[in-house]
Structure 1
């Protein structure tokens, strides 16, 4: 008889600084804890931020500091559960590559970190327009080779 329990070693959770991202991190941490896996947090930069960085109208250091502060919050959530966490940042948009968008950035990262499971925010709050990741969720759900939980 074989063990039917899936092997999950790395859970990927893309974030964008939204409240929905925190919810996704909480779910991803619970999954990582259950399977004794690690968590990789991917901070995805949106189109306006990327354009601002590329045209020098937005301070690159300020963006990096904001992303790092948010990732620190996500790391605290994982640390409380005893889940090891790593992180990276990706442009979710490119002015030079037509195929670069948040969904492709997430799937590229999933391949790079050898993710076995992805948790992606999907539902925007009723008071706010959709954030970066809610727009990418459908793409990830359609094209990911790993199981995906959309929160």
Structure 2
């Protein structure tokens, strides 16, 4: 694999890793949320991120044969997603929702960086754009959940 392809795969593997973190964070948030509506929202988001990864993993294997799903990923020092320890301090619905918003904003930014920095195979480009749009749409919707008690 050439250097440019390796850099792209590394970026896409970063998205896989962060989506795994998001899936686990959302599942844990669903367990801790007091609001039934918020529990359902977090469960749906956890399932969505698992689906995102299954789709992206298939695309990576189809286009690049090998992917590293267990290694540590270079790049950003800042984890673009929920730190479980700080995320659950207090277990308050509002705090969890705010952390979800922060994580989704970071995810959108990472998706945008992949799209801006690379010429992607058409199928991967379409998938990344779709996933980014779905996260962005949720960010627009989530504001109504902030008012839940």
TM-score w.r.t. the length of structure 1 is 0.33
TM-score w.r.t. the length of structure 2 is 0.33
